[in-house]
Amino acid sequence: MAIRNWGVLIMEHVFISKQDQLEKKLEQWKEQAGSNIKIDVQKSFSGHNVYAITLTDFSVRREEQTALYVAQPHAHEPATTAGMVDVIEQLVTGKDLLGNPTTIDRHKVLSQMILTFNPIGNPYGRENAPYLYWDGSEVTNEQFWCIMRGEEPDAPGKMWDRLDIFDTREIKVPDPIGIVYEPIDEFRYVEPNRSQLSSFFKLFHQMDKQFQYQYWLDLHQTEFARSASQCLVMLPLDDVRIDKQIKDENEAWAGQISQAWQEEGFRVTPPFPLPYVGQQAEYIRKNWGEIDRRINRITIEVKNNAADTPPRRQMDAIESSILKTLRRLTNS
């Protein structure tokens, strides 16, 4: 019992995924990073601040830097947040949250890059998540999916629909509504990465006007319910017409991250394009097509809610995808 409590205490210090934990870190980072940090905010309908945390050496000219956006849209995928927070901690202080020295050359990264992190895309959904992380010990995947999207009103125990946007005056909705959705007014909800009305996309466009990102690392988690895999990089939809130069770069980038994971002992599925068809593909084309034609973007998936990938490992896999990206983009 004592050991488990000690473990929980450490995890609460290291696994930062809730809004109040993030805001506490933000206060420290603002002091520690001095002129190398800029905080931008998008106010959500629920009254939360959705943060864009930019780290760079602002004295270097923009033309000499590469701009990377790192973000996560999904409330039920907390290790993406925890991984980002630990990387920010390293870039700001030179040490990770456990006090170990960072392996990254942060001065090189900050002078050669503009880095923007959106660690919690949907704070309302994240606040409603019943657990700090998902380790497979509390709920089955079926229960987890019902928390994520809500339960079918007429078929309890069955996960509800995946919609880009819905209006509670027009359709019968789950009670409670799943944590993946963000309220955007009194009646309407969106899935953040499937509607431009989300705080996730509004914040990106606000930031992109300032920094014109060249790269976007899109962080996610999935259950890998029918596979032994723990990690995967997904490329943009195949039928979005992307220049060969961008496509080749995405593939090389994805390959390097996959290799890094393998070296760290993760079971990795080789990269492939987003597998969506029908309505889901339409949502993606509508919201990401233009971005994917202009910016190098890949999607990271790390295993969630399973005993074989505890929260610390989930976090490690996310971190490793970010750190590998920083090394790639600074040739270090």
User: Which residues sit at the interface with Zn ion, rule CB under 5 A?
Assistant: 74, 77, 220
Residue 182, CB half-sphere, CA atoms under 13 Å: how many?
32
Smallest gap from Cβ 16 to Zn ion, in A, equals: 18
Tokens for 258, please give them.
């996959």
Smallest gap from Cβ 257 to Zn ion, in A, equals: 17
Residue number with the shortest CB distance to Zn ion? 220
Residue 211: partners with Cβ closer than 8 Å, 6 or more residues away: 54, 62, 67, 114, 116
Smallest gap from Cβ 191 to Zn ion, in A, equals: 9
Smallest gap from Cβ 187 to Zn ion, in A, equals: 25
Confirm if 298 and 235 have CB atoms less than 8 A apart.
yes
**CB atoms near residue 290 (< 10 Å):** 11
Strand partners, 53: 39, 117
Phi–psi pair at 106, nearest 5 degrees: -70, -30
**Measured at the alpha carbon of residue 69, what is the angle toward residues 63 and 72, in degrees to the nearest 5?**
175
Q: In this complex, which beta carbon is closest to Zn ion, that of residue 10 or of residue 277? A: 277
Tokens for 92, please give them.
């700001």
Smallest gap from Cβ 25 to Zn ion, in A, equals: 22
Q: In this complex, which beta carbon is closest to Zn ion, that of residue 132 or of residue 274? A: 274
Q: In this complex, which beta carbon is closest to Zn ion, that of residue 220 or of residue 324? A: 220
Q: In this complex, which beta carbon is closest to Zn ion, that of residue 135 or of residue 191? A: 191
Q: In this complex, which beta carbon is closest to Zn ion, that of residue 36 or of residue 81? A: 81
**CB atoms near residue 271 (< 10 Å):** 18
Q: In this complex, which beta carbon is closest to Zn ion, that of residue 77 or of residue 89? A: 77
Tokens for 272, please give them.
């492939």
Task: Spell out the alpha helix ranges (H) of 135-277.
Answer: 141-149, 199-211, 244-263
Confirm if 306 and 128 have CB atoms less than 8 A apart.
no
DSSP state of 230: -
Smallest gap from Cβ 131 to Zn ion, in A, equals: 16
Smallest gap from Cβ 221 to Zn ion, in A, equals: 6
Q: In this complex, which beta carbon is closest to Zn ion, that of residue 56 or of residue 192? A: 192
Tokens for 280, please give them.
């889901």
Confirm if 302 and 231 have CB atoms less than 8 A apart.
yes
